[in-house]
Amino acid sequence: MRPPLARRLHTSRSQRPRRYPLRSNPFRAAGGSVASIVSAGIGSGLDVNGLVSGLIAAERAPADNRLKRDESSTRAQISAFGALNGALSGLQTALDAFKGSGADPGRKAIVADGAGFTASADTTAAPGSYAVRVEKLATAHKLQSAAFATDAQIGYGKLTLQVGSDDPIEVDIAQGEGTLADIRDAINAKVGSQGISASIVHGDAGDVLVLTSPRTGIDGSLSLTASGGDGGLSALTNASLTEVTAAQDAEVWVDGVQRTSASNHLTDLIDGVTLDLAKAQPGQSFDLAIGADGSSLRTRMEAFVKAYNNAIATLRTQSAAGDKDTAGATLSGDATPRAITQALRTAMGTAYAEMSRLGLTTAKDGTLTLDGAKFDAAIAADATAVRAVLGDGADYAGSLRATFTAYLGDDGVIGDRTEALNDRLDAIADQREALDRRMAAMEANYRRQFTALDAMMAQMQSTSAFLTQQLAGLSG
C-alpha cells in the first residue's frame, strides 16, 4: 500500500527509492536551477498592439499601394491634359489677335522735322500725304491783377467767376479777409474743383493774383465781376485785370482746308489720324505722310509662331514614347495628343504656299520659323497677305478654329477626358474609404482574438508558475 501524497512529498531522500541519478533530473538546468516550461514572449506579456498593427499593415499594403498608384497615374494624366489645354488655348489666343483689322498692317504717320506737330494713325487711316500748316495754337485764358502788398486788404463783398458759357460761380469775401492770399484761397476752395486756378506770383513790386482758365479755346474765356461790399473787389474784375494770355482756338490748315479747334489735340481732322499741335508757324506748311506699318503685324505673327511651337512641343512632350532605358510620357499611347498633332499638321498643309510667301517654314519636328525680312517684304508688297491666311474667313484659320472647338471648352475632348479622370479620383477616394472600413473591422477582430489569446496565455503562465514551484520542491 502506497503512503498518502503528503507523506510521499515529505519523505526523506534516503527513504525514497532512487530510480535515476539526481544529475539526470529532466527539470533541472545544466547550471543546477529548475528550467521554466514557458517560452519567452508568451503569456500576459504578449504584444497585442504590435501583432495587430503588423497584420493590418501587411493586409492593407497591397490594396493601399494599388490605390496610390492609380491616384498618382490619374493625377498625372489630369496634369498632362491641363498642359495640352493651356498650350492650345495659348495658340487660340494668338490666332484671335488676327480677327477683324488685326490681320491688316498698321498705319504709321511720318512728320517732317520741325513741323511743330506730331501725328499718329490707326488702321482706318488711308495711305497718302498731306500739307499741314499750324497758324495758331489753342490757348487757355490767363489774367493777372495789379501788384499789392502782401498784407493789403483788397476789399470785401462778392466775386462772380464764369468760364465761357458755364454757370457762374459766386465767391464771398468777408470783411477783414480780403488779402490776395485770402481771396486766392476762397476762389480755390469754391471753384478749384471745376478747374479754375488761382495763384500768387511774388514780384519785386508786390504780390500779383493770377487766374487761369481750366480749358483752352475761346469758350474757356474767364469773366470776373464784383458786387456788394466796399467796392474794393472791382480791382479783380476784367476791367482792372491784365490779360496775360488770350483765350484762343487753334487754327490749322490741311491741303488748303481750314479747321479751328478749342483743343490742340485733334482726332477728327483726318480719318484715322490724330494730330497734336505744339507750335504755331504761320505761313509754313509741312508734309504729313501716312503709310503701312507692318511692325505691329509682325509682332502678332511672332506671337503666333511662338504659341504654335509651344503647342507642338507640349503635344510631343506629353505623348513621347518610352524605350528600354526611358519610361514613356504620361500620355504615351493616348490617341488624343496624336489626333491634335495630326489636325495641326493637316491644317498647315492647306496653307503651305501662303505661309512660305510670308517667310514661314516648317522644321522636321513640326515647329515653325519666321523670316522677319521676308515677312516685311511680303507685307510691303501685299498688305492683305496675312489676312488671306489668318484673317476672318481664311481656310487655315478656319481649320485651326475647328480644332479648338473640338478639343477645348467644357464640351471638348480634353474637357471630357479631364472630367472622366476627376470621376476616377472620386472612385479612388470611395475605394480608400471602403478599405479603411474593412481594415477597421479586421483590426477589431484581430484585437479580440489576440486579447483572448493573451488572457489564455496569462492563465497558462500562472499554472506553469505553480507547477514549476511544485517541481522545484520535489527536486530540492
> In the 8-state DSSP scheme, what is residue 184?
H
Does 5 fall in a domain?
A: no
pLDDT of 3:
45
352-367 pLDDT, tens per residue?
A: 899 999 999 999 999 9
| Full-model pTM | 0.64
> Quick one: what percent of the chain has pLDDT higher than 90?
74
C-alpha cell at 359: 517667310
- Are 180 and 263 members of one domain? no
- Are 42 and 100 members of one domain? yes
C-alpha cell at 125: 487711316
The strand ranges marked E within 23-125 are 106-111, 117-121
CA angle 76, 82, 87 (to 5 degrees): 130
C-alpha cell at 130: 498731306
pLDDT of 39:
34
Residue identified by cell 507685307 is 379
- Are 228 and 353 members of one domain? no
Does 4 fall in a domain?
A: no
Does 163 fall in a domain?
A: yes
pLDDT of 56:
92
291 and 130 Cβ atoms separated by less than 8 Å: no
DSSP track, 12-44? -TTTS---S-GGG-TTB-TTSSBPPSSPTT-ST
Q: What kind and span of H or E run contains 222?
A: strand 222-227
Does 60 fall in a domain?
A: yes
* Average pLDDT over the chain, rounded to an integer: 88
**Cα torsion at 61, 64, 69, 75 (round to 10°)?**
-160
- Are 392 and 282 members of one domain? no
pLDDT of 473:
76
- Are 456 and 311 members of one domain? yes
pLDDT of 172:
96
- Are 327 and 400 members of one domain? yes
Does 6 fall in a domain?
A: no
Q: Who wins on pLDDT, 117 or 461?
A: 117
**Of 293, 322, 348, which closes a domain?**
293
Backbone Cα Rg of the chain: 50
CA 317 to chain CA mean position, Å: 24
- Are 443 and 333 members of one domain? yes
**Of 278, 293, 308, which closes a domain?**
293
CATH number at residue 193: 3.30.70
Q: What is the end-to-end Cα distance of the chain in Å, rounded?
A: 25
Residue 222, domain extent = 140-248
CA angle 264, 252, 105 (to 5 degrees): 75
d(CA 356, CA 85): 28
Number of domains in the chain: 3
CA distances, 455 to each of 21, 284, 399, 460 (Å): 39, 117, 79, 9
- Are 87 and 111 members of one domain? no
- Are 227 and 316 members of one domain? no
184 and 196 Cβ atoms separated by less than 8 Å: no
pLDDT of 198:
95
Does 228 fall in a domain?
A: yes
6-46 pLDDT, tens per residue?
A: 333 344 444 444 433 333 333 333 333 333 333 333 445 77
pLDDT of 258:
98
C-alpha cell at 304: 503666333
- Are 147 and 259 members of one domain? no
57-103 pLDDT, tens per residue?
A: 999 999 999 999 999 999 999 999 999 999 999 999 999 999 998 99
- Are 355 and 268 members of one domain? no
- Are 159 and 186 members of one domain? yes
Three-state DSSP at 328 gives coil
Q: Who wins on pLDDT, 421 or 458?
A: 421
d(CA 111, CA 134): 13
Does 98 fall in a domain?
A: yes
132 and 252 Cβ atoms separated by less than 8 Å: yes
pLDDT of 476:
56
107-150 pLDDT, tens per residue?
A: 999 999 999 999 999 988 998 999 999 999 999 999 999 999 99
pLDDT of 194:
74
pLDDT of 44:
58
Does 230 fall in a domain?
A: yes
Q: Who wins on pLDDT, 451 or 234?
A: 234
Confidence of residue 193 (pLDDT cuts 50, 70, 90): low
